[in-house]
Amino acid sequence: MTQSMTDELKLAHDEADALIAAATSVDALRQAESRLLGKQGTLGKLLASIGQLPKEQRGPAGKEINLAKQAITERFAAARAKLEHAGDQQAVAGAQAYDPTLPGPVVPRGSVHPVTAVQWEIEDILARLGFVVVSGPEMETDYYNFEALNIPAMHPARDMQDTFWLTNGWLLRTHTSPCQVRAMERLGPPLRVIAPGRVFRYETEDASHAHTFHQLEGLMIDRGISIANLIAVMKLILSEVFRREVKIRLRPGFFPFVEPGFELDMSCEICGGTGCPTCKRSGWVEILPCGMVHPNVLRAGGIDPHAYTGFAFGLGLTRLAMMKYGVQDIRGLNSGDLRAIIRPEQRHGPAIIEKN
């Protein structure tokens, strides 16, 4: 082996020491080792130049170069193990500094839809009075939606509820009152039920009307039920929902399934009763049609109207949610834009809670 090759090997050892000292990570160390021992590195070039030596010098030269390569490889391996151990020590130190008693990261959560929140609240209020929740199909028969509710075919009241008729002769229910007839047939008197659900009307949409909305209808049947019981329950519902006394008015109203019938209006919460598009500039919003159950409806449910009386009411959950949360346009409640639903100061109001 020539003197120049011996000098090159010494330079390779010195270069390995410098590269190991300069490396601050395992990746940097691997890159340095590859550059030094690769084909274009110092040792790689020395191995490539062996073929230029006399034949008798090639064996000893190759042996010396391979020994140098092995020694340098071992030094890089030792340096790499040292860096890996140091990284493990840092990880252990970091783990020891972790405090498991600290609160975890806060994950943003959604909130319950305003209509759902109002429905749950009313269910809880009426449950304290002994009412139970019943349900029924959204695709309903003509009998339960109209006939059993004292609305025969050709009755002018059918014009009050523009209906989505289906090709099979059924319809999309225009109210949840069919649930009341089914409950009378199944449970019999005395009876206290509420029927929340989605209903459908073939109507032109505006700020206070939609073709799809939610109602909660209630029915109470027992001996000696009077209009006084009806008014007391209606006032309790509104005062509990709004957590204060609400200004209301009761005026006569015609509904075939009750007699007498009433329209219970509340002062518009959007404008404070001064008049706005939501209340059609009147200052009042229709919220609770109600009345004493018509004897024909009691008979349709299998109940003797001479022995029992009762009252029924239909609460517009969608409109009530509008009043409670200050929603000016009913169409916002069916949109996907959360900003259109609840005013910022009410977005986390007490009624937006999870149902247990």
Kindly report, residue by residue over 34-47, the tens digit of the pLDDT.
777 766 666 767 77
In a domain, 103, yes or no: no
The confidence score (pLDDT) of residue 300 equals: 92
The answer to whether residues 226 and 282 belong to one domain is yes
Report the candidate in 16, 216, 12, 258 with the shortest Cα–Cα distance to residue 117: 216
In a domain, 353, yes or no: no
**φ, ψ for residue 199, nearest 5 deg:** -130, 165
- pLDDT category at 20 given cuts 50, 70, 90 is confident
In a domain, 216, yes or no: yes
The confidence score (pLDDT) of residue 353 equals: 34
Which three-class secondary structure state does DSSP give residue 309?
strand
DSSP 123-181: HHHHHTTT-EE----SEE-HHHHTGGGT--TT-GGGGGS---B-TTS-EE-SSSHHHHH
pLDDT for 288 beyond 80: yes
Provide the number of structural domains found in the chain: 2
The answer to whether residues 120 and 230 belong to one domain is yes
In a domain, 107, yes or no: no
The answer to whether residues 90 and 118 belong to one domain is no
In a domain, 355, yes or no: no
- Tokens 């020539």 map to which residue? 2
In a domain, 109, yes or no: no
Q: What average pLDDT does the chain have?
A: 79
Kindly report, residue by residue over 304-320, the tens digit of the pLDDT.
999 999 999 988 888 88
Q: Which residues pair with 209 in a beta bridge?
A: 206
The confidence score (pLDDT) of residue 345 equals: 43
In a domain, 138, yes or no: yes
The answer to whether residues 62 and 194 belong to one domain is no
Residues of the domain holding 61: 3-97
> What is the mean pLDDT of the segment spanning 270-294?
83
> What DSSP state is assigned to residue 108?
P
pLDDT for 284 beyond 50: yes
Tell me, rounded to whole angstroms, the distance of Cα 325 from its chain centroid. Answer: 18
